[in-house]
């Protein structure tokens, strides 16, 4: 009887070990799968700058004043705060990602107000309080400014080329103020560049809003065919044409599965 009881206890212990091992492996597999289905892009404080998040670069546009950018803390989150006054500049990152696996972009944003005088379809008044720009392309090395001969000329004359927004097929998701919410319009004066009116006006200004878009579906609908890949993602606020002043906050930019 005693031997039988001992055997039973050993079997039970063995089953417990097997169950625990299986549970751990399952949790690990689930965790790994979750990691594969989400890529967090921002934001974390960088080592070299207190105002530019790690993995992002601050770029400007020729002849334009830059926005004032700072990083602020809200609870456990690091927030990008952009102040724009007759200015335009962007934070840009180039994620190494397979758009087929992570086709959805999600983010949070908040603006103090919409740009009042904006007209999204006009080249001279195409400003917005907040903008998420996705640039599609194969390789940034195809940028003419990255050609060896161009770099050689710049080096010879002592000109250091600043970081610039790469060319490519583009979709802007904007917080606008003129075109109807949900409208998709051509970016004025540009080819293969669409504007999507995600938010409009001041009704939801002053509070955090979550947004989500399927990049694969949008690209197929707007341009036809399959996207060549994500070359870069930029966040920007611009008031260089309307000469107005706005503030925008960006948070929790990520790419994820369907």
CA atoms within 13 A on the CB side of 107: 27
Residues 150 and 161 in one domain: yes
For position 115, what pLDDT does the model report? 97
206, pLDDT greater than 60: yes
Closest Cα partner for 252 from 80, 130, 68? 80
239, pLDDT greater than 90: yes
Distance CA 25, CA 3 (A): 33
Residues 224 and 149 in one domain: yes
Residues 6 or more apart in contact with residue 74 via CB below 8 angstroms: 251
Residues 184 and 58 in one domain: yes
pLDDT tens profile 58-71: 999 999 999 999 99
Residues 12 and 56 in one domain: no
Residues 27 and 47 in one domain: no
Instruction: For residues 203-230, give the mean pLDDT.
Output: 97
Residues 104 and 197 in one domain: yes
For position 27, what pLDDT does the model report? 43
Confidence of residue 79 (pLDDT cuts 50, 70, 90): very high
Distance CA 237, CA 127 (A): 8
Query: Quick check: pTM over 0.85?
Result: no
Domain that holds residue 4: 1-36
Residues 198 and 141 in one domain: yes
Residues 234 and 211 in one domain: yes
Residues 6 or more apart in contact with residue 104 via CB below 8 angstroms: 212, 213, 214, 215, 255, 256, 257, 258
Residues 17 and 118 in one domain: no
For position 234, what pLDDT does the model report? 98
Instruction: For residues 166-186, give the mean pLDDT.
Output: 97
| CATH number for 248 | 2.60.120
Confidence of residue 17 (pLDDT cuts 50, 70, 90): very low
Count of structural domains within the chain: 2
pLDDT tens profile 109-126: 999 999 999 999 999 999
Residues 19 and 146 in one domain: no
Distance CA 207, CA 193 (A): 29
Residues 111 and 145 in one domain: yes
CB 146 within 8 A of CB 140: yes
Give the lowest-confidence range in 12-21, 161-170, 242-251: 12-21
Residues 120 and 156 in one domain: yes
């Amino acid at each position: 009887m005693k031997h039988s009881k001992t055997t039973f206890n050993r079997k039970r212990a063995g089953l417990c070990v097997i169950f625990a091992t299986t549970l751990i492996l399952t949790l690990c597999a689930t965790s790994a799968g979750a990691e594969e289905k989400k890529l967090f892009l921002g934001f974390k404080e960088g080592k070299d700058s207190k105002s530019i998040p790690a993995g992002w670069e601050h770029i400007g546009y020729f002849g334009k004043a830059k926005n004032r950018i700072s990083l602020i803390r809200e609870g456990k989150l690091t927030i990008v705060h952009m102040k724009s006054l007759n200015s335009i500049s962007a934070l840009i990152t180039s994620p190494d990602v397979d758009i087929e696996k992570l086709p959805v972009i999600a983010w949070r944003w908040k603006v103090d107000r919409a740009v009042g005088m904006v007209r999204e379809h006009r080249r001279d008044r195409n400003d917005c309080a907040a903008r998420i720009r996705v640039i599609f392309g194969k390789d940034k090395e195809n940028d003419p400014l990255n050609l060896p001969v161009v770099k050689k000329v710049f080096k010879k004359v002592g000109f250091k080329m600043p970081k610039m927004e790469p060319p490519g097929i583009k979709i802007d998701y904007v917080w606008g103020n003129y075109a109807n919410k949900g409208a998709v319009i051509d970016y004025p004066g540009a080819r293969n560049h669409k504007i999507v009116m995600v938010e409009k006006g001041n009704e939801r200004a002053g509070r955090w809003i979550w947004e989500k878009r399927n990049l694969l579906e949008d690209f197929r609908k707007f341009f036809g065919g399959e996207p060549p890949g994500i070359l870069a993602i930029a966040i920007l606020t611009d008031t260089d044409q309307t000469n107005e002043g706005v503030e925008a906050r960006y948070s929790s930019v990520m790419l994820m599965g369907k």
